[in-house]
Structure 1
Amino acid sequence: MKLNKKYTFTNNRQIWRLLLSDKNKLIIEERDLEKKEAFYNCIQAETGIPTFMNYQLDEKYWVGIETVYKEIIYFHKFTQPNMPGHKVIMAYDIDSSKILWQTDKYSFLFIHDDKVYVFRQKFETREFFTLNYLTGELIDELGEDAASINIIRESIPEEEKYNTYSFPFIFKNDDESDEVKSNIVNNTKGLLTEGNIEYILYKDFLVFNFFIKNEDGKLENKFFITDLKNSSSIVNDVLLSDANSYVPDSYFMKDNLLFVLKEKTKVEVFELS
């Protein structure tokens, strides 16, 4: 069993979102909350080599990502600041680092079989359409039957997209194997934990974290990677030292790569083999 820290990514801005493309490119959304600016970065997940860095749209803050599909990032704007409604679709090609197409006629719903399902808001109803995912050209006019659109959306097998991912489980003392239980119990013995203890079991690696209160009354996110064969901690770290409340989902895995968010501004990537 071997643990290899591949790289650390940081621009010293708050990391808002992490997404992986089909070709294992890591898209990192960052936000400067004081200046109200959003930045987008793309690096090779295995190596950290940049594809593009610090990309910004014409709207600097009230923007976001709908999804990543076949190496295209689909951005959106918001109908109003601080409101959840989305408007505008911008299809940004990762490999060429340019916008392929954009439209302000529709809002994004989902993508299926190379079609972008979109809607146009009317006074009390929505009109539904599909667009070509590469060009944005209109393919289908689907009318106003929202129920049929929901049937298509619900038929998409989400598990296929995520079958090579591992996300943390909540530790439940009565349900776990003796090895998992003993390692977590030993590392939390005598500590008053806050919120759930989370873990990922990958081969003989146990990755887990928990929150405790520090001397300042803040929450500290303790993080461990343990070799179960040797019952030894390989990594013993703090992911967040001054949290006001319990925050889940500090890490995840794709294949044998472990992505860890640290102090809100860093991504550390480990290879477990």
Structure 2
Amino acid sequence: MVSGLLLHYVGLSDMLFVCCNKMMFVPRKSNCMKLFRSSSPAWPPTWTFDAGVYIWRVLFSNAGEILGEARDPEKKETWFFCLEEATGTLLWRDLRHPEAWWTGIEAIEGGRFFLHGFRKPDMPQHLGIRAHDLHSGTLLWSSEEYTFLLAQGDDVYASREKFSGLEFYRLSAVDGGVTEELGQDTSRINDLRQQQNEEDFFRGYRYPDPLSDAHPHADAARSALDGIVDPAQVAGNLDVLVEAPLLFAAWHIAEERPENGRPSLKQEFLALNTDSGKTLFRGPILTGADAPGMDSFFIKDHQLIYIHERCAIHAHDLNGAAS
């Protein structure tokens, strides 16, 4: 069961609060600026998808699909979309919950995905389950009685509040019918959750770490970035991921002329081939941020993925980038 991969940055770093710690290293003077050749992007995205509104969350099915949640804060509207992971081909978009704003994704499992509503708009408790076919977006069944807990194979485990307390149920993922009443015993639910936590859902994912003495490639990264990144101008962390011979880095700096007249940040992204000395990509991926974000990019299998300007997914193919 894929319970979800939340991009902590999700293109909305101005909505996140992160303490602005300085980087934990002192750069050495060197001629690295001469070693890395600056150029226009030599490594364009393999595919992109522009939602036109904020991409709030993306989940990977681990079977070749990306499920996304898009939100328009001004109109208070939410809609969902699905892409082919390898090519970015749009399978469907503009799927909407009956509740325009107060909804979200629960999980992907067995070629289906599950949406939830909320008990009340001002309360965090989820309520209601809507099951959809992942490949087409077609609604399979819905229930307003139950709260989703987890899915496993063709089973959905859910709860319902009664006067006597919280009752648990096993539902059919095919049609939503009750297949077993579990009473108030939480042990089975806890065992299933523990089993899912022990499974390796995130095999193939690699994430950046803040550049510090604890970074596994601290010395090599500092040497490569010396003369390229000025630590005195960095707000928050300098996030680095090394996939030798490739090095990826992202950091925030103050914008010179913010459009709204208020102090704001932009996030720079850099991709280097440390063997050839070639700059594969360098440029801003976010402007107008109120605070530094985190985990703004990651690698899954052979693709580097990030959110560009809050609204677009960009994917770069690692194959060939190291040559």
Relative to the length of structure 2, the TM-score reads 0.78
How far residue 213 of structure 1 moved from its aligned partner, in angstroms, is 1.6
> In the alignment, which of 190, 201, 213 is matched to residue 150 of structure 1?
190
AA of the residue aligned to 2:238: I
Aligned to 2:298: 252
Equivalenced residue count is 272
**Does the CA-based 8 Å contact 1:173-1:181 persist in structure 2?**
no
Write out per-residue CA displacement over residues 39-78 of structure 1, whole angstroms, 9 at most, x where no aligned residue: 1111112212111021112222111100111221100111
2:69 equivalent in structure 1: 29
The verdict on how the C-alpha distance between 1:195 and 1:3 changes in structure 2, with shifts beyond 3 A counting, is: same
The structural deviation recorded for 1:184 is: 3.3
2:110–2:153 contact (8 Å) kept in structure 1: no
Q: 5 Å matches for 1:35-184? A: 35-123=75-163, 125-173=165-213, 175-177=215-217, 178-184=219-225
Query: How many Å separate the matches in 1 of 2:122 and 2:64?
Result: 32
Gaps of 5+ in 1: none
Q: 1:152 is paired with a residue of what secondary structure?
A: helix
Corresponding residue for residue 271 of structure 1: 317
Deviation at 1:200, TM superposition (A): 2.2
Moved more, 213-222 or 83-92: 213-222
Structure-1-length-normalised TM-score = 0.91
Paired AA for residue 309 in structure 2? E
The correspondence for 1:221, drawn from 267, 278, 285, is 267
Unaligned runs of 5+ in 2: 1-41
Partner of 2:16 in structure 1? none
The sequence identity of aligned pairs, in percent, is 28
Bigger RCO (CA 8 Å, 6+ sep): 2
Q: Kindly indicate whether the alpha-carbon contact (under 8 Å) linking 2:92 and 2:136 is maintained by their aligned counterparts in 1.
A: no
Structure 1 segments of 4 or more deviating over 6 A? none
**What letter is aligned with 1:102?**
S
Q: 15, 18, 30: which is aligned to 2:55?
A: 15
**CA positional deviation for 1:124:** 6.6
CA distance in 2, matches of 1:270, 1:237: 14
Residue 201 (structure 1) aligns with: 242
> For the residues of structure 1 that align with 2:213 and 2:44, how far apart are their CA atoms?
30
CA RMSD of aligned residues (A): 2.0
Distance 1:56 1:268, change over 3 A: same
Q: 1:232 aligns with which of 264, 278, 287?
A: 278
Relative distance call for 1:87 and 1:33 in structure 2 (3 A) is same
